[in-house]
Structures are given as structure tokens and as C-alpha cells.
Chains A and B, each alone.
Chain A
């Protein structure tokens, strides 16, 4: 009986229906990844405080020296070492120069150095690291060794060697930065790309005939953007601090140009008598470092919320 039934039902009795279920609809609002990142960043209050501080710093660096009634380099020997007042908002230094103007001139130098470090990181570090990771093999080995050798040269030594041939200035510091500053970034990018280049979407692009540069710049580097930006928020403050440090030692910006480092050095001799001369540049260096660090932490969490504990 059972066998009869199975025998009676044959493949020929079935017909494939042409019915096609309607395509599924996505109900939620479309959220591009960058907007998701931005939303998480904005909801991080500490990171936003850092951003607000950095924006204010940039604005003051631009307009500060302009709104001040005094310029930053004129000596006024009748008004030396004055405390903050309605005329000299942050007081004056031992040569009677307006500290308010000098602070914001120093901020300009800090931000220019930071910006230069970022550009070097992005241009040299990302491309060098991208090529190391993407080409691989012998090229990777040679380029990686070269970067390791460069990395082993202390930054201070590079600056001192450069000072043998160049005048100490902001540009010397930027030049020294461009020798070694991008190496960390290149290693980060290399590691990321080594990991990403065997992803199926990269194979898919290759199977479609994409060129090497298209794969590198359209697929690999954009997917490394998170770590690149996070590394950037660490490189920039360390470059700013290096500038302040070298200027403090007298290896960087020279008077009458103002840098936070030189200002602290100037204030050092008499800081017990005129503490505001030390307070303002020291406070600004500390706050800038802090702002970059909380901003960088916030960005890292925003790019990869899983990393947050």
C-alpha cells in the first residue's frame, strides 16, 4: 500500500510555479557608518569637551593676537613683569611684552606643528604603510627594515644634527618630524592592510579587474580610516609637545617669536615671583594634551564600540 503511493507520485506531476515572493522591505532609516560614528562621538561628553576646547584654541590662535591691544614682540621696559590687568589681560613678561598676544602666537606655532605632523602622517605614513602591506613580499621586508632603522634614531638626535646645518626654528622641528614622525602610522596601516587584503571583497574587486591602486585607495585605505584617525589623534599632541619641549631647551623657536616652550623657559627663573608667566603656557600645554587624549579615546570608542569596556 505504502509502496503504491510512493510510486504513484512522480516528478512529472510537479510543476514549478513562477511565483516570486515580493522583495523584503527594510523599514529602518538608512544610517551610513560615518553618521553612526558621529552619533556615538557626540554622545561622549568628555570627548566633546575636548573638541570644544580644541575649537576654542584654534579660534583664539587666529583672532587672539588681533583682538589684543598690544603686539607680541614690542618690548616695553617701563611695564615689565606686570600681573594680569585690564590693560595686559595675562600680564607682561620680563621685557614688558604682552603675554596674551604671546600665548596665542604660541598656540599658532603649536597648531601649525600639529597640522604638519598630521599631514606627514597622512601622506608619508599612510602611503608607505599601504605599499608595505599591499605589495608584501620582498618589498615589504626591505621597506619595513628601512623604517625600523629610521625609528631607531632618537628624535632629539635628528633635531641636533639638523641644527648643525640649519637655524633653530619651527621649520627645523617640522623637518625633523618628517624624518621619523610617520613611522608609527606606517606600521599601523601596514598591519591593517595585511589583515584586510585577503578579505573577500578585495578578491571580488580583483576578480572584476580592479587595478592595484583602485584596490589600495578605494577598498583598503578607507577601511583603515578608523585606526588612521585614532593614530593621528596621538601623533598630533606628541608633535605639539615635542615642539614645546625642544623650544624649552632652546633647540626650537627663537625669540622674539613666541612658543609655549620658550615662554615657560623665560618664566622659569622667576616663577615664584611672577607665577602667571608660567601658569598660562603650562596650563595651555596641559589642557591641549588632555583635550587631544580624551578626543582620541572618544574617537576610538566611536569607531569600534566593542573596544569599550
Chain B
């Protein structure tokens, strides 16, 4: 165990890094979409990251930075343009047929919109039992019913609601149903694609606590995509920051928030409100000028240089390498 992996489990820190080798490795992954006229939208561009077993890796970035596309490509809902994703050492884009189906039992996804992610024509039993039906592990109809009731209890819903339809539930309850569905096949790894951004703040805390409890009791590994920085800090062991389809910074959560290296991360963190009017009034806020450049035609060199307060000629000429600036702290900036 290296120094960076030694942590205190009691006080909210969990082991990070290579305790048992990474569960998931994303290696120079790119996903481009053709947009007509011979142009391509570079939604995810050369993204690399690793997620260790039992860890939560938070991914943050503003709308349109490609974080959802990254999550979906990692789940192989989209075929990648280039690069690999290795799950337990196997490149998931090479898997076919039965092997791919087996992988689907090990990786699951929780979606953003609890209203769109449940089929309105299915009742709750059918929604939660869908993965069981697909993989033929439901057993008898009695067994299937029992499993669904177990899952409903696991996520804090009443088992007697199993025959109701999604429209009868609130947003938070629906998100719990989505979580129960993801858990049905006992996956090892779950991509949470902004699972709380469509919920009320009070419900957000409930759902995040549920996710953390489940992680503890079931030994889950999360890739947690979000744009709420304080929530990501709360749940993540490590945080990755994306900008325009590229990774700009990756570090342990406490390190990233205390000591951001990339100017984009610094600007993002300065935008977190502090619940104290005096500190908030004195706080220096870095306001970025300009708009997010189009991912169809990204700037040369460093993608952030058009809005960066420290940009120089070097930034336009040469794309910064994503390098380890400190032990376990990676950033893509010439001046980090």
C-alpha cells in the first residue's frame, strides 16, 4: 500500500487508489458524433481515468462538457470512436454475445431523470424485475416477487407498492425505484449519471445517503457524474473535472478542493456558495469571461485557453499533457 492509499475509514475517508487494482480503467477514450457537413462533435476527447474497487469517483463539469456521454460510453450504450474501457482487465468494447450479456450484470447505471427512466407502462414489479427477466434469473413468479420486495425494502420503499405504476410515485421515490432496478443483478460497478440533479434539495440528501449506505453494505463502486460540486465533495473519494470533452484535473477529493491546480477548477470552486454571509461577501469569485466554445470546433492547444485568465501563447500552440503534478494529483495545464 502506498502512502496515498492509507486512509481512515471511520471519519468518512475510504481507501483510494490501487488497493486491489483498478476495477475499471478508461484508456484514451474518445466519442465523436457526426453532425453533418463532414463535421464532428467531439463529445469525449482522449479521456483516461481509473476507478478502484469500492471507490467513488466523482466527475464534474458544466453542461455539455461530455460527462454524460463519457458515462454512457463507459457503459457501452455508445460505441467509442477510439480508446478502451477495461473492466476487471477486459476491454468491454471487444465483448460479444454471452460475454457482453454477462458484463451487463456487473455494471449498472442510474439515470438523471426519474420521470423518463421508468417505462410508464410497466408496474414497479416489472421495472425492478426487468434485469432478472433479461438474464433469466428471476426463477418462479413467487421467487421473482420475493426478490422485488427485498429490493424495494433495500431502497426504503414499501413492498406493498410493487403493483403500482411509476406515475403514482414522487421524484425521489422514482429515483429509488431506479436504484433498486440497478441493484437487481448485484452489480459491482454503478455509473450514476446525475442521479440527484432532478430532485429537490431535501430529497437529494436522502438519495445520496441511500447510495452511500448501499455502497457500504454491498461493496459497490461508483462513477458519480454531477455538476453540484458540494454534493460531489460529500460523496466522492476522488474527483475528476472535465472541460470540453477533456479531463483537466483529477485528484483526491480533499486535495482537489483544498488545492486546485487547474485554473478551470479554481474558477469552479470559487463559485461554491459558503453558508456564511460574511465569508461569502469577502470571498473572491473568479468569473470566467466568454462562453463555452463549441465542441465541434474546439480551440487549438489547451481547450480552456479562450477563457483562462493566465493563458499565454504556449497555451494556444501546444495542448498541455495530463500529468501527475503531485502524488496522485493530475492536471492538464502547462503552469500547474
Contact = CB atoms under 8 A, between A and B. Distances in A.
B168 to A, nearest CB: 6
Contact of B116 (A199, A210, A214): A199
Interface stretch (B25-33, B97-105, B308-316): B97-105
B108 A24 contact: no
Given A208-B130, A214-B134, A223-B120, A203 B164 contact: no
A207 B109 contact: yes
A86 interface: no
Contact of A223 (B121, B123, B168, B170): B121
B210 to A, nearest CB: 9
Interface centre among B112, B168, B178 (most CB of A within 10 A): B168
Contact of B72 (A25, A203, A210): A203
Query: What is the interface residue range for chain B against chain A?
Result: 35 or more
B156 A26 contact: no
Contacts, number: 82
Interface of B is mostly: loop
Contacts of B72: 203
A154 interface: no
A23 B11 contact: no
Interface in B1-40: 11-12
A25, A205, A209, A211, most chain B CB atoms within 10 A: A209
Contacts of B173: 24
Closest 8 CB pairs of A and B: A209-B104, A200-B117, A200-B116, A200-B111, A207-B109, A208-B131, A201-B119, A209-B101
29 contacts: A20-B156, A24-B158, A24-B170, A26-B164, A28-B168, A30-B164, A30-B165, A30-B168, A33-B167, A200-B116, A201-B117, A201-B118, A203-B109, A203-B117, A204-B111, A204-B181, A205-B130, A207-B104, A207-B107, A207-B108, A208-B104, A209-B101, A209-B104, A209-B105, A209-B134, A214-B134, A219-B119, A222-B121, A223-B121
Given A203-B109, A204-B109, 19 more contacts: A23-B156, A23-B157, A24-B173, A26-B161, A28-B168, A30-B163, A32-B165, A33-B120, A33-B121, A200-B117, A201-B116, A203-B77, A205-B119, A205-B130, A207-B107, A208-B134, A209-B100, A210-B130, A210-B134
